[in-house]
Every structure is written in structure tokens, then in C-alpha cells.
Chains A and B, each alone.
Chain A
């Protein structure tokens, strides 16, 4: 009845033969697995840095890289969620620091018990994210503008609340410092912060791939009108993304306290752009709807590797900035090319 005719089969075969060039295959593979290219670059970079300085691959150095990556790596989980919805969050760093100060200061100065201070910090992170979500879904303002505004608001709130003071090592509640605890894993030295970051990736990689919410986030970023017609409540998904992002950022704040062993309003000044860099290098499209958590993880590690490797090779920090800049532009150009895939 409606089986395809032999002509259409033949045509389909010709079509597919036409497009079986090697370049087309690479494009197809990258389209399916957008994290392949940063992974290749990562492996290449590690080989080069090893050749430049054999100390690069020492377990102690690799452990250090992971610790250096842990904060931006955790923040980039939240940034990936937002960018998958075709948004951008410029306030991630500000929310992280805000949560950090709330945790540290409420415990130190207001006598809030440590665990409660931690929960309070996470609640503040969720609230800050929810504010972004409300402004974006209710006032219909573009995420870029909303988060540029809240970047200022949260930074100011942090400064006002902290009164310019750092909460130091000895003044910190014990539970806030656990992310700095060290575990020996063979020759490697892993902090709890690194484990927490990796756990965030494992959890959200699962959520994005295996739950309906994950699919809805992709669909909303891909085409909000189509998602709405399919019965997805687009605004609700967007709101939840920013709120969940806020929780992740507060956890990143917790990791920050462990890593720097203090809570200061002036830590991680570059977190916003660094997180976007990690996401973009990791193959997630700024146009939304495509990208993976594993890609962002590779992106974050790649930035850490380049930064560490260049300084081990004795090069100036300026070269690090140069290299990251080139990586970002290459990644976005690659994304544009991949998105042209059609059968």
C-alpha cells in the first residue's frame, strides 16, 4: 500500500552516496557527539604540555589542575543549563559569592549553627536564581539584560552585607570548610570540592539525558514555540532552570570556601566569563537546544589544563588568555558548521 517505491529507494541511496565524503562524516559525528572536538583538543594539549615539561603529567600536578577547576567547573553546570535554554547568565559569579558570604557570615556573626548557615546559603542561591527566572518569564526581558542587572544587584548586596570584610579560616564554621578536605587516591590528592563538582556533573548528565525535565529544557532552548505547542509549559521550565541553577551556584560557593579557606566578597572575579568559556568550548551552542554536561566538563578541564600547562612551560599568563580566546572562537565557529548538518 504505502511501501516506498523502488525509485525513491534508489534516489535515497544516491543521496546518501553523495554525502559520504570524509568531511561529511566528521560533521555528522560532531553533530551527534559535540563533545568529541574538545576531547580531542584536550588530549592533544595534554600531549604537547607533557612534551614541553614532563612534570605536567605528574599526579600532583594533575590533582592541582582538578582543584583549580573545581569552582568554575561547578559554576559551569548552572551556566550549561541556562545556555541550553538559549539564555545566558551573567550573574553566576555574583550569586556564588553572595551565597558564600551568607553562609560564612551568618554562622560567624549571627551565631547561626553551621549546617543551618549552609542551608540558608543554598536558599539564598535558589532565591537569587528564582528572581532571575521571574524577571525573564514574567517581565519577558532578555536573559542577558536581566542577569546584567542582577549581577550588579547581587554584587552590591554582597558588598553591603559583608561590609568589605573577609571571614577568615579560623572564623569559619567547620561544615563550611569540608570541601577543602583531602582524600588520597593512590598518588592523587583529591579534595571533597573536586568530588562534589564531579558529582554535580554526574547528577545533571543523568537528569539531562534520562528525565522528562531534561528533554524539556532541550526542547525549550531548541524552539520555544514548538515546545509550547507540544504541551510543555515553557515559562515553568525556564523558571526552574534558573532556580535549580541558583542551588548549584550556592554549592559552588560552598566549594569556593573550601578551596580558598576563607569567604571574601572579592574572590573569583572572572567566574562569569570563565563559566561561559567552559560551556562554549565544551560544544554547547549559544543558540540553545544542543550541548552536553560532559562537554562542559571537558571544556572546564581544558581551560584548566591550558592555563596550568602554559605556566609549567614557562610562558607568561598573557599566552594563556590568548590561547583561551582562540579556543572560544574556534569552538563557536565549529558549532556554526556543525549546525548546518542536514540529511
Chain B
């Protein structure tokens, strides 16, 4: 593959500071995500992974620091702002309305209406169009086994539900997809399905931020690994130059990585 990656990050967080009362959630933390890569974010509980991701996805507002999307500075007041800027977040459990069907979930909050009188005056939804496009999207994600888009989401397996939320995230021209512990509740087979899906997204040029506790999975799909420790970035490493044990050692502070050994720039497409 010869994707030319520019040096400008798609998403850049600079020097974020976030405190909750006397607890420091983020302590001058930075993050860069480059085009076409999977960036994993790992760290112990309380290291500030969630806070960092919430700041980038608009769920929290940092006390200070800057966030850039495509080089332009942004300030998110809500997750809707972040979505408008092209950052879609897929939450672990809260992504879907279980009783609604696949197509309705896919277009929830952004429904398509029919043309003409039916759509404009009677506000009629374009059920057929939404189903066809949902099916296309699911097939592109490798979940082509699902035939019936009017099936309720609660009748799907965990992996398929995850696929529905990912499909929804990328349906609306997003630039970045953040996946929060996508495999935490899944079995081995379904986890693999989701990992394949992540690789598929990347191969189509969509950068992914993956938050995960699962080291083997992180080392399987990530291009670079951002290690979070004590509210800040301890190191950025690649799966090829460091082992899982090293990553754990960095997380716990047992190992310090020198600047020159880190992977601060894009490594993919080289």
C-alpha cells in the first residue's frame, strides 16, 4: 500500500488539562491521530483514557488545551458538535435502541424522508431507501449474513450490534471513528469479527481510535499505541518494536521510553 500520509494529524489534542474538583483527570495530555491509522489508547484504570476520549468526542470540555480537526481549532460543547466536525463515537453498550429495527437505528436522529408530497407534507419516511442503504453498509462491513434490515436490534448478537453502531457512525461522512471498548462484552468469534471490521475501516482510509483493555487485540490491529499513565501520555509505541510486557511496564511506570524510540509520527503507509 502506498497511501501518502501527510504530516498533519486528522485529530490533534494539545496539552489538555481537565480536573474534577481536586482530582486531576488529564494533566497536560496530548494525542495525535493520522490519516488511515488505527491508534489504540491503553492505560490502567484511572489513567485518564476515558477523560481524554470524552474531551475529543465532546462529552467533556477540557479546562485548558486545544483540539484541532484537520488543522482547524475546534471547541466542542457537546457530542453533537464533535459529530458535526466529523468525529463519531461508538459507545460500549449505549449505542442502540434495542427494540427498533436495524435500519431505524442506523438512521436514528437523521432519518431520510420520501420526496414530494408524501415526504414534504405527510413527513413520510423513506423506509425502503434506508433499508437498502443500511444493507449496503452492513455488507461493506462484512456482516452480509444479515438479510433483514427490519429485524429488531435486540435479536442480534453482540458483534452484529457493534456493527450496526459502527455502520451508523460511518454512514454520515465522518472523518474519525472512536470505538470505546468495542469487544469488552463479546466472545472470541465476535471479537474477531469486530477486529476485522476495524481493519476494514482503516483499509478504506478511515482512521480509528480504539480504547481497549485487551492487549492481544490491541497488538493485533493497532498501528500505534498511545499509553496513558497518571493523566498524561507516557509513550507512543508500535506493536513491532515493543512487546505486550513492555506496554504493561510503561502503563505501570516500570519502563520509561526515550523520545527517539517512540512513534510520535505516522508509521503507516511508509
Residues of A within 8 A of B (CB): 1-4, 8-9, 11-12, 31-32, 206, 210-213, 215-216, 218-219, 222-223, 225-227, 229-232, 289-290, 341-343
Contacts and interface: CB of A to CB of B under 8 A. Distances in A.
A227 B95 contact: no
A31 B152 contact: yes
B200 interface: yes
Interface in B107-156: 108-111, 113, 122-125, 127, 141-142, 144-145, 152, 154-156
B104 interface: yes
A229 B125 contact: no
Question: Which one of B97, B156, B199 has the greatest number of beta carbons of chain A within 10 Å?
Answer: B97
B167 interface: no
B192 to A, nearest CB: 9
A216 B80 CA distance: 17
B189 interface: yes
Contact of A3 (B109, B113, B142): B142
A215 B99 CA distance: 11
Interface of B: 79-80, 83, 91, 94-100, 104-105, 108-111, 113, 122-125, 127, 141-142, 144-145, 152, 154-157, 168, 189, 196-197, 199-200
Contacts of B122: 206, 210
A212 B122 CA distance: 11
A342 B154 CA distance: 6
Contacts of A289: 97-100
Contacts of B91: 229
Given A1-B142, A343-B156, A219 B100 contact: yes
22 contacts: A1-B142, A2-B196, A2-B200, A8-B189, A9-B145, A210-B124, A215-B111, A218-B97, A218-B99, A218-B100, A219-B100, A222-B98, A222-B99, A223-B96, A223-B98, A226-B97, A227-B109, A230-B105, A230-B108, A289-B99, A343-B156, A343-B157
Given A2-B142, A4-B145, A9-B145, A342 B155 contact: yes
Contact of A222 (B95, B100, B123): B100
Given A2-B142, A212-B125, A232-B109, 13 more contacts: A2-B200, A4-B145, A210-B123, A211-B125, A215-B125, A222-B100, A223-B96, A226-B97, A227-B109, A229-B91, A231-B109, A289-B97, A289-B100
A216 B109 contact: yes
Question: Which one of A11, A226, A227 has the greatest number of beta carbons of chain B within 10 Å?
Answer: A226
Contacts of B155: 31, 341-343
Contact of B108 (A2, A213, A219): A219
Contacts of B200: 1-2
Contacts of B152: 31-32
A232 B107 CA distance: 11
A215 B108 contact: yes
B95 A229 contact: yes
A295 to B, nearest CB: 14
Given A2-B197, A341-B155, A342-B154, A212 B97 contact: no
A289 B96 CA distance: 12
Contacts of B98: 222-223, 289
Contacts of B95: 226, 229
A-B pairs with lowest CB-CB distance, top 8: A2-B142, A231-B109, A222-B97, A212-B111, A219-B97, A230-B108, A289-B99, A343-B155
A32 B145 CA distance: 20
A289 B200 CA distance: 33
Contacts of A3: 142, 144
B234 to A, nearest CB: 30
B163 to A, nearest CB: 11
Nearest to B91: A229
